[in-house]
């Protein structure tokens, strides 16, 4: 009975974190005044694109002539939100598809129509790097898909992945701002990148890029990623260099982070304090291999468990997995499995690890799990089903392990994305 209460408390905390970062609760106060004379262009991309567009249109509806508003939202199909007068395009994630090409073309076309009196509001959230795909000359969609898959399986983090993507795109690395000039550009961003650097969130379509073609080439070499000749040629072509941070095109742009992992953890922490837990935040920008971070956290948790008081251990960021097996799962599920192995038979410890977008790894489908949970009973239940955690971890098959135990967290699309949310509860009063 108590495990079910703890399960619900962890889910409640996760949902509190997600709500704090939903566009309905974080976007409107940051929307700029509509232009006095010109048009208002709304360009939304990412997993929260539909919800961000709806909030923005509702906000401006009573303040500005609807005839002077135009826009497009490009997101995952399960993120569709109907907004009258705005175009919606469903696209692929985490691997781009034909919808990604169509969406990026539409965004660039609208941006190119903006003039000096107009305002372009760019509504960005995690996922737009795949959802907005505009390959440079000589690079095909198939090329982009192939390199994306290899990068995702390599263990490269999002900053490294996006450093490569920028140099193969006509919309990333500041090029959307370049297309919108001389219009004023305001970008409002829900961050899914550890450290919240806007130049890497959605591959920085409206901000200067500190990386270079050489950076992209070195990342591919670091992870020994083989690429077709078309990619090699593109990454050696100076015309595909991105815009530097000091480029004059950014003189008329502004970018603001409106929600991040820190907001999600703060909301969960408040709820946990109300429940009598001492809240310890380990950081909202943790990166690294999921299983290695889990082992490190597990050792810390074991020390806290000795104290005999209710403790909540919170962390966020973005973990990675170097895929060598053939199983299913994602970074948060792999973290949970490795954490369970580190904790062993320790009593009174409960954990939830999930992605705030509702999809942890997988193929980007609405049915994919957001993450997984562990309980004091996890080792015994695994033994009863003859599940060897080490075997599942070696095959990167955390998803199957937790599915067999009925401990996957399935939420569907959350309409936001501030990345990993990890919670470990220690309560020695119950085992």
* SS3 letters across 57-69: HHHHHCCCCHHHE
Q: Which domains does the chain have, with CATH numbers?
A: 22-259 (3.40.50.10180), 262-426 (3.40.1480.10)
Buried b (16+ CB within 10 A) or exposed e, 231-253: beebbeeeebebbeeeeebbebb
User: How is residue 168 written in tokens?
Assistant: 């193969």
pTM of the predicted model, to two decimals? Answer: 0.94
pLDDT score recorded for residue 421: 98
pLDDT reported for residue 431: 41
Model pLDDT, residue 1:
57
* Residue 206 pLDDT: 98
Largest CA-CA distance found in the chain, in angstroms, rounded: 70
Residues of the chain short of pLDDT 70, as ranges, are: 1, 364, 429-431
| pLDDT of 430 | 46
Task: Please give the pLDDT value at position 63.
Answer: 83
Q: Cα(312)–Cα(295) distance, rounded to whole angstroms?
A: 17
User: In the prediction, which pLDDT does 124 show?
Assistant: 98
């Amino acid at each position: 009975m108590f495990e079910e209460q703890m399960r619900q408390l962890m889910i409640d905390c996760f949902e509190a974190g997600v709500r704090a970062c939903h566009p309905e609760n974080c976007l409107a106060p940051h929307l700029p005044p509509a232009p006095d004379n010109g048009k208002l262009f709304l360009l939304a991309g990412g997993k929260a694109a539909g919800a961000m567009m709806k909030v923005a249109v509702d906000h401006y509806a009573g303040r500005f002539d609807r005839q002077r508003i135009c826009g497009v939202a490009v997101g995952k199909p399960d993120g569709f939100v109907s907004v009258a007068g705005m175009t919606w395009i469903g696209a692929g994630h985490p691997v781009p598809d034909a919808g990604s090409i169509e969406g990026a073309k539409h965004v660039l076309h609208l941006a190119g129509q903006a003039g000096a009196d107009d305002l372009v509001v760019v509504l960005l959230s995690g996922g737009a790097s795949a959802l907005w795909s505009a390959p440079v000359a000589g690079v095909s969609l198939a090329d982009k898909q192939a390199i994306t898959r290899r990068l995702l399986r390599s263990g490269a983090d999002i900053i490294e992945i996006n450093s490569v993507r920028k140099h193969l795109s006509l919309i990333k690395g500041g090029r959307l701002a370049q297309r919108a000039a001389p219009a004023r550009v305001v970008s409002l961003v829900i961050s899914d990148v550890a450290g919240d650097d806007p130049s890497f969130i959605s591959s920085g379509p409206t901000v200067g890029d500190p990386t270079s073609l050489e950076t992209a080439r070195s990342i591919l070499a670091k992870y020994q990623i083989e690429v077709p000749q078309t990619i090699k040629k593109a990454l050696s072509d100076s015309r595909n260099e991105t815009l530097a941070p000091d480029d004059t095109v950014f003189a008329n742009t502004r970018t603001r982070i409106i929600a991040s992992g820190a907001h999600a953890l703060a909301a969960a922490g408040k709820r946990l304090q109300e429940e009598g837990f001492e809240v310890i935040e380990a950081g909202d920008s943790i990166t690294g291999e999921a299983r290695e971070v889990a082992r490190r956290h597990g050792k810390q948790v074991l020390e806290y468990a000795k104290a005999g008081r209710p403790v909540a251990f919170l962390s966020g960021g973005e973990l990675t997995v170097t895929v060598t097996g053939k199983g299913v799962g994602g970074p948060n599920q792999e973290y949970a499995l490795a954490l369970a192995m580190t904790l062993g038979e320790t009593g009174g410890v409960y954990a939830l690890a999930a992605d705030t977008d509702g999809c942890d790894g997988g193929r980007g489908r609405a049915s994919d799990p957001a993450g997984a949970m562990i309980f004091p009973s996890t080792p015994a239940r695994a033994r009863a089903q003859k599940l060897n955690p080490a075997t599942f971890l070696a095959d990167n098959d955390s998803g199957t392990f937790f599915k067999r135990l009925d401990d996957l967290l399935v939420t569907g699309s959350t309409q936001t994305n501030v990345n990993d949310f990890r919670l470990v509860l220690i309560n020695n009063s119950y085992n």
